[in-house]
Amino acid sequence: MFAKIKSVGLLGLNSYMVDVEVNISSGKTQTNIVGLPDTAVSEAKERVFAAMKNSGFEMNGGYHYTFNLAPADVKKEGSYYDLPIAVSVLSATMQIRGNYKNSAFVGELSLSGEIKGIKGVLPMVIAAKEHGIKEIFVPFCNCEEAAVIEDIDVYGVKTLKEVADHINDVYKLNPVEIKPFKTFEVPSYLPDFKDVKGQFEVKRALEVAAAGGHNAMMIGPPGSGKSMLAKRLPTILPDITVEEALETTKIYSLSGNLSKDNPIINYRPFRAPHHSVSPAGLSGGGTIPKPGELSLAHNGVLFLDELPEFTRNTMEVLRQPIENGTITISRAACALTYPCSVMLICAMNPCPCGHFGHPTKKCTCPSGAPARYLSKVSGPLLDRLDIHIEVPPVDYAQLSATEESECSADIRKRVNEARAIQIERFKGTDVTCNAKMTPAMTRKFCVLSEDAAKILESSFEKLGLSARAYDKILKVARTIADLDKSDSIEKKHIFEAIQYRSLDRKFWKE
Ligand SMILES: Nc1ncnc2c1ncn2[C@@H]1O[C@H](COP(=O)(O)OP(=O)(O)OP(=O)(O)O)[C@@H](O)[C@H]1O
Ligand SMILES: [Mg+2]
């Protein structure tokens, strides 16, 4: 007796179709699974046979079961082949009869026959659709993840019996209802920018960063509001696009971070790992590497508060992925690449006591300590931060002022308008914001007016800017012009962009 059932395999974010074949021949009772299974797959037979018996299906002894998971040369991991293995036995033993040639199955079985949740359902459903599968059976608790995918019927199933009854036309299930994608609406109870008194320049700089997806660094004394400002950043980030939301949700699906109530990441993620995070925690890791904080922040913000407290190794992990937007993690078993197109926001004090460069307070650090502290942030990392902002202490007059500052919703409106210009500009490419422009795009879209070019030329020499800094200034100036709804980059735009690169000279070059 023979049967072949389709399933989907997942290696990192790469999905591929898997044929689960079973051959049942008479002989001594024995079960073999071939096709590079890991321990979880090998153990499937124990779960599957118990689940089948406890679901009321016939399981006769005196047969030799051979399962093959094809393609045989790709390592299979996880417990999600339980369901297709069970369905293949039911099919070979004629306990289900129906048309399931264009169907795929994924899910883990409990001994009682219930189907348990698995990780990575969204990328699996997308892969199945791309391979022409018309319907896919997934665990009920994961089915909402796939509710935005059209042109494939997704069935959320709770038990093996339910799957068999559906195929045998005993009790038909309904596919998951398609829900059109909707971006997250920022709830009014979130902390708002209007709570932050004064700090107009800092807020402006964060608005520019959010509009163009630029990396930024805030430096200032204790209590000046750096963490407070960063916490409010999610309320001014531009709406996430459908494509971005799907990419980010795939990563969350793979790392098991989605729930039935929160099946799609329809907002830009904001990840703020503590400074004790390990390099692997940031980059991703494990025998079959899983995404780390960098990838979980994909299309959103990675916020590193108290930057010099992160270990040097952790900080250096950031360098290449921040520039490339992807991270490749190599392990003995395989090398996997995850996307990590993030906006990196960092905050720090200028020295251990926090008052170095303070307008009124004296720095109490021993001589050389501020320089040592600042040097914990390497030059190359600093160079990757497009916008450097000094967060000065707020004075009493500003703190006690009664008039309200501008609220997040108003800032967000401008950010969204500027981002819409960028999306239109980069239509048909995979770039979505100014910060991610390729060198060719920078040349094409960042043409300076004559005045602006002169200013940049003289500043370049005066400030001793690097080639990367030059590039970043052009990109930031493009964003400032977009916020100003100006096609050309004018003098005032380039002035503001240069000003965002001069802070490192105050602290790092003294
Ligand atoms: N501009 C401001 N407007 C209103 N309140 C402020 C402002 N700046 C600071 N505060 C108050 O001070 C508190 C501390 O600010 P915050 O934690 O953001 O400082 P910080 O710059 O991150 O300091 P540290 O360097 O010690 O981490 C805030 O929770 C807030 O109550
Ligand atoms: Mg802080």
By alpha-carbon position, which residue is closest to atom 24 of ligand 1? 222
The rounded Å distance from CA 151 to ligand 2 centre is: 48
197 lines ligand 1 (CB under 6 A): yes
196 lines ligand 1 (CB under 6 A): yes
**The domain containing residue 80 runs over which residues?**
2-167
349 lines ligand 1 (CB under 6 A): yes
Domain end marker among 167, 202, 220: 167
Looking at the predicted structure, is the pLDDT value of residue 418 above 90?
A: yes
CA dihedral angle for residue 91, residue 96, residue 102, residue 105, rounded to 10 degrees: -80
Confidence (pLDDT) at 115 = 96
Same domain, 105 and 58: yes
Same domain, 283 and 380: yes
288-297 residue pLDDT tens: 889 999 999 9
For a pocket test of ligand 1, which of 201, 203, 224 has the largest count of ligand atoms closer than 8 A to its C-beta?
A: 224
Distance CA 242, CA 414 (A): 20
Same domain, 104 and 208: no
- What b/e sequence results for 89-123 when a residue is b if at least 16 CB atoms lie within 10 Å of its CB, and e otherwise? bbbbbebbeeebeebbbbbbbeeebbbbbbbbbbb
Residue with tokens 């971006």: 183
**Residue 441's pLDDT band (boundaries 50, 70, 90)?**
very high
Please list the helix, strand and coil fractions of the chain in percent, rounded to the nearest 5, in that order: 40, 20, 40
Confidence (pLDDT) at 506 = 66
Which neighbouring-strand residues pair with 135? 103, 153
4-49 residue pLDDT tens: 999 999 888 888 899 999 999 887 778 888 877 777 777 788 899 9
228 lines ligand 1 (CB under 6 A): yes
Residue with tokens 């559906």: 166
Same domain, 198 and 315: yes
The verdict on residue 180 lying in a domain is no
- Distance in angstroms between the alpha carbons of the first and the last residue of the chain: 80
What is the edge-to-edge ordering of all strands in the sheet holding 135-139?
Answer: 30-34, 63-70, 14-26, 2-11, 103-105, 135-139, 153-157
Same domain, 341 and 223: yes
**Residue 396's pLDDT band (boundaries 50, 70, 90)?**
confident
Rounded mean pLDDT, 181-188: 80
Confidence (pLDDT) at 211 = 97
The verdict on residue 174 lying in a domain is no
Helix (H) or strand (E) holding 97: none
Helix (H) or strand (E) holding 368: none
Confidence (pLDDT) at 435 = 94
The verdict on residue 382 lying in a domain is yes
The verdict on residue 185 lying in a domain is no
223 lines ligand 1 (CB under 6 A): yes
Between the alpha carbon of residue 407 and those of residues 68, 234, 274, 289, 352, the distances in Å are 60, 13, 28, 41, 33
The rounded Å distance from CA 226 to ligand 1 centre is: 6
The verdict on residue 178 lying in a domain is no
Same domain, 87 and 229: no
Same domain, 110 and 217: no
45-65 residue pLDDT tens: 889 999 999 999 987 777 888
Considering the chain, what is the average pLDDT of its residues? 89
Which ligand neighbours the alpha carbon of 232 most closely? 1
Looking at the predicted structure, is the pLDDT value of residue 411 above 90?
A: yes
The verdict on residue 143 lying in a domain is yes
Residue 95's domain is classified under what CATH number?
A: 3.30.230.10
Looking at the predicted structure, is the pLDDT value of residue 397 above 80?
A: no
Same domain, 228 and 84: no
358 lines ligand 1 (CB under 6 A): no
The count of domains in the chain is 2
Q: Which residues surround ligand 2, an ion (CB under 5 A)?
A: 226-227
Whole-number percent of the chain with pLDDT over 70: 98
DSSP state of 448: B
Residue with tokens 């124990």: 46
186-227 residue pLDDT tens: 777 789 999 898 899 999 999 999 999 999 999 999 999 999
Same domain, 111 and 244: no
* pTM of the predicted model as reported, rounded to 2 decimal places: 0.89
- Pair 158, 381: CB distance under 8 Å: no
Which neighbouring-strand residues pair with 389? 218
- Most confident of the following: 42-46, 270-274, 352-356: 270-274
Higher pLDDT, 415 or 257: 415
Same domain, 158 and 199: no
Looking at the predicted structure, is the pLDDT value of residue 260 above 80?
A: no
CA dihedral angle for residue 239, residue 240, residue 242, residue 243, rounded to 10 degrees: 150
The verdict on residue 320 lying in a domain is yes
By alpha-carbon position, which residue is closest to atom 16 of ligand 1? 225
Looking at the predicted structure, is the pLDDT value of residue 510 above 60?
A: no
Same domain, 341 and 197: yes
Atom of ligand 1 nearest to the CA of 218: 21
Residue 484's domain is classified under what CATH number?
A: 3.40.50.300
394 lines ligand 1 (CB under 6 A): yes
By alpha-carbon position, which residue is closest to atom 9 of ligand 1? 225
Whole-number percent of the chain with pLDDT over 90: 56
**Residue 104's pLDDT band (boundaries 50, 70, 90)?**
very high
Helix (H) or strand (E) holding 70: strand 63-70
Confidence (pLDDT) at 148 = 84
The rounded Å distance from CA 352 to ligand 2 centre is: 13
Which ligand neighbours the alpha carbon of 220 most closely? 1
The rounded Å distance from CA 172 to ligand 2 centre is: 56
Helix (H) or strand (E) holding 205: helix 200-212
Rounded mean pLDDT, 302-320: 93
DSSP state of 113: S
Higher pLDDT, 185 or 246: 246
CA dihedral angle for residue 337, residue 338, residue 339, residue 343, rounded to 10 degrees: -120
Which residues have a Cβ under 8 Å from the Cβ of 328 and sit 6 or more positions away? 335, 336, 337
225 lines ligand 1 (CB under 6 A): yes
For a pocket test of ligand 1, which of 199, 219, 227, 228 has the largest count of ligand atoms closer than 8 A to its C-beta?
A: 228
Which ligand neighbours the alpha carbon of 272 most closely? 2
224 lines ligand 1 (CB under 6 A): yes
Rounded mean pLDDT, 96-104: 87
The verdict on residue 491 lying in a domain is yes
198 lines ligand 1 (CB under 6 A): yes
Same domain, 302 and 431: yes
